[in-house]
């Protein structure tokens, strides 16, 4: 059954306002596949009923749940691999020189989802322990969804999740088995701090960063929103800081504050 | 074309692995226990081995230890694929020379991911 056109328009406008997510008419299936399980779990009859309940005055929680369902994506450890190679081979060598007086590097994983990305950064740094001894690394993960932030903070993953992208030697080294699940050891967990953050709202309170991971988020936004988000991220970065985007994303034609790093796909530097 | 030896006493698992790995452009050879796998390796060493743990005649760990101590036995990438999913088994396998480890049940994505992890694709 297709979604009533007025309901579709309401959901599209709501998601645009709440999260910047662009839902084109041909992506109606995405709304259905994400929202129908939610409709069932709430004991509702249809997406129509969900929409009418979202319009009620006290529907804030329900609205958040809908945003969560639409913006949460399955994540994996060391996704795409190359960003973590860039961290080891390009960013760290540069920053260990450029920041040697303050010996502090701040890393921001924007839209950190269930934590796989910031924890992959933390494990990468741990693997370089000798090089970074005496340095202070601060990793901040932000996400719009409280549900994924809670999961990220817990650092507990299913057997399936730890087999997506995580080399077995790192599983042995940094995880402890807990029943069917695997929990990241405390020394890795405490390297990452999580906080709620919507890329469409102001985030000037989180300070400046030397490295920003913002991967596979911009693809969901329209051009204007992409530009706004990149401009805001640029304000949180020092002039020679690094930005990582997803494989299908670019700053080209969107924002002129960054230039691409030659030979390093997805890696940009503040001009 | 790279060759992968699939070692498992379950014909169902061998069939599932074959289907996925053939799509990833591997030529598949099958063996139903560690001894048969070892015979196959001595005859013609494959580039990859997907290895079950519990099997009759010779189990996966014994096979791996014998393989790694034999001529050219250090060449193949060995990926365990087993229901033994506790940390001590994993540590034992890595210690014995396994390159990667898949905990059953697995899906296509995990299999592909692990072959990528060891540089086979």
What pLDDT is recorded for position A1? 65
Q: How far apart are CA A99 and CA A83, in angstroms?
A: 20
Q: Are A57 and A99 in contact (CB under 8 A)?
A: no
The whole-angstrom distance between B39's CA and the closest CA on chain A is 28
Minimum-distance CB partner of B110 among A163, A171, A177: A163
pLDDT along chain A (271 residues), means of 10: 89 91 86 89 93 92 88 84 96 97 97 96 97 96 92 95 96 96 97 94 90 92 94 94 94 94 95 89
User: What is the rounded distance in angstroms from the CA atom of residue B117 to the CA atom of residue B105?
Assistant: 18
State how far residue B51 is from chain A, nearest Cα, in angstroms: 15
CB pair distance less than 8 Å for B106 and A165: no
pLDDT for A44: 94
Q: Flag if A168 and B94 touch (Cβ within 8 Å).
A: yes
CA distance B29 to chain A (A): 25
**Site from A158, A160, A163 to mutate, B interface, most B CB atoms within 10 angstroms:** A163
Cis, bond preceding A65 (omega within 30 deg of 0): no
Question: Could you tell me which chain B residue has the CA closest to the CA of A165?
Answer: B113
Q: How far is B43 from chain A (nearest CA, A)?
A: 30
Phi, psi of A182 (to 5 degrees): -130, 130
The predicted complex's ipTM stands at 0.94
**Cβ atoms A1, A29 nearer than 8 A:** no
Please report the pLDDT score of residue A147 as a whole number: 87
Q: Does A73 touch chain B (CB under 8 A)?
A: no
| Nearest-neighbour CA in chain A from B3: distance (Å) | 22
Residues of chain A with C-beta less than 8 angstroms from the C-beta of B100: 167-168
Measure CB to CB from residue A159 to each of B87, B103, B117 and give the nearest one. Answer: B103
Render pLDDT for B85-108 as a digit per residue (tens, 0 to 9).
999 999 999 999 999 999 999 989
Q: How far apart are CA B8 and CA B51, in angstroms?
A: 7
- pLDDT at residue number A156: 97
8 Å CB contact between A219 and A246: yes
User: Rounded to the nearest 10 degrees, what angle do helices B60-68 and B87-95 cross at?
Assistant: 20
Beta bridge partners of A131: none
pLDDT at residue A204, as a whole number? 79
The yes-or-no verdict on residue B59 having pLDDT over 70 is yes
Q: Is A167 on the interface with B (CB under 8 A)?
A: yes
Q: Which of A214-223, B36-45, B75-84 has the lowest mean pLDDT?
A: A214-223
Q: pTM to 2 decimals?
A: 0.89
Indicate the helix (H) or strand (E) that contains A241: strand A237-245
Nearest to B8, CA basis, from B59, B44, B47, B48? B59
- The β-bridge relationship of strands A136-143 and A192-196 is parallel
pLDDT, position A260? 95
Asked if B90 lies within 8 A of A171 by C-beta distance, the reply is: yes
The shortest C-alpha distance from A83 to chain B (Å) reads: 15
Distance, CA of A27 to CA of A35 (rounded, Å): 13
Contact status, residue A209 vs residue A235, Cβ threshold 8 Å? no
Q: Is the pLDDT confidence value at B6 over 90?
A: yes
Report yes or no: A93 at the B interface, CB cutoff 8 Å: no
Phi, psi torsion values for B80, nearest 5 degrees = -65, 150
Q: Which stretches of chain A are DSSP H helices?
A: 5-19, 28-41, 47-54, 60-71, 82-86, 92-98, 116-127, 146-154, 168-174, 186-189, 223-235
CB contact under 8 A, B94 and A164: no
Q: What is the count of residue pairs from A and B with beta carbons less than 8 Å apart?
A: 31
- B interface with A, Cβ–Cβ < 8 A, is 85-87, 90-91, 94, 98, 100-103, 106-107, 109-110, 113-114, 117
Look at residue A33 in the predicted model and tell me its pLDDT: 85
Does B98 sit within 8 Å of A172, measured CB to CB? no
Contact (CB<8Å) A168/B106? no
């Amino acid at each position: 059954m297709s979604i009533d056109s007025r309901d579709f328009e309401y959901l599209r406008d709501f998601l645009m306002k709440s999260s910047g997510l662009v839902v084109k008419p041909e992506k109606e299936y995405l709304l259905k596949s994400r929202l129908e399980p939610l409709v069932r779990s709430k004991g509702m009859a249809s997406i129509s009923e969900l929409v009418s309940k979202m319009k009620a005055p006290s529907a804030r929680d329900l609205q958040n749940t809908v945003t969560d369902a639409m913006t949460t994506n399955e994540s994996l450890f060391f996704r795409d691999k190359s960003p973590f190679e860039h961290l080891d081979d390009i960013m760290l060598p540069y920053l260990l020189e450029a920041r040697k007086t303050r010996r502090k590097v701040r890393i921001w994983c924007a839209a950190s989802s269930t934590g796989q990305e910031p924890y992959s950064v933390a494990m990468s740094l741990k693997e370089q322990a000798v090089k970074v001894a005496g340095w202070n690394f601060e990793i901040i993960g932000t996400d719009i969804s409280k549900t994924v932030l809670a999961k990220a903070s817990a650092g507990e993953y299913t057997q399936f999740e730890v087999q997506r992208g995580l080399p077995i030697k790192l599983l042995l080294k940094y995880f402890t088995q807990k029943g069917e699940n695997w929990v990241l050891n405390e020394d890795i967990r405490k390297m990452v701090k999580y906080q709620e953050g919507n890329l469409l709202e102001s985030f000037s309170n989180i300070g400046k960063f030397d490295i920003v991971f913002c991967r596979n988020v911009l693809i969901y936004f329209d051009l204007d929103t992409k530009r706004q988000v990149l401009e805001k991220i640029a304000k949180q970065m020092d002039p020679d800081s690094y930005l990582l985007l997803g494989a299908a994303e670019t700053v080209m034609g969107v924002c002129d504050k960054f230039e691409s790093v030659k030979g390093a796909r997805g890696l940009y530097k503040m001009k | 074309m790279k060759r992968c030896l699939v070692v498992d006493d379950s014909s169902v698992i061998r069939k599932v692995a074959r289907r996925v790995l053939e799509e990833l452009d591997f030529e598949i050879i099958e063996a139903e226990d560690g001894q048969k796998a070892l015979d196959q390796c001595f005859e013609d060493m494959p580039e990859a081995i997907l290895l079950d743990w519990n099997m009759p005649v010779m189990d996966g760990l014994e096979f791996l230890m014998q393989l790694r101590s034999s001529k050219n036995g250090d060449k193949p990438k060995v990926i365990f694929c087993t229901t033994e999913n506790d940390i001590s088994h994993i540590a034992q396998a890595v210690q014995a020379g396994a390159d990667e480890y898949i905990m059953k049940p697995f899906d296509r994505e995990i299999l592909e991911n692990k072959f990528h992890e060891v540089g086979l694709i």
